Amino acid sequence: MDIVTAATLFCLVVAALFLSLWMYYDRRDYALFEHARRKSTFCCIRCHFLYGAAGQPDVCKCPRCGHENARLRF
Ligand SMILES: [Zn+2]
């Protein structure tokens, strides 16, 4: 194996290593923060309090009065 082939293989291995690390950390961050990043908005029909909840639940209790409200849809 000559030096050019060895250098090319080394560069390909290093590139594959960095690409796999980048994909791993990108997927990990997406899984960790996607739930917290997505928020749903609710408006209480009893006390008219506007509040939010993480994720996309269909119903959520009002933090002020405890009434369970449906998610606002736009
Ligand atoms: Zn309420």
CA 42 / ligand 1 centre spacing (Å): 10
7 CA to middle of ligand 1, Å?
67
The pLDDT tens digits for 2-32 are 999 999 999 999 999 999 999 999 999 988 8
Which residue's entry shows tokens 């119903």? 59
CA of 62 to the centre of ligand 1 (A): 5
Look up the pTM and report it: 0.55
| Cα 34–chain centre separation | 1
DSSP state of 33: H
pLDDT score recorded for residue 37: 82
Distance 34 CA to ligand 1 centre (A): 27
Burial 12-49 (b: 16+ CB within 10 A, else e): eeeeeeeeeeeeeeeeeeeeeeeeeeeebebebeeeee
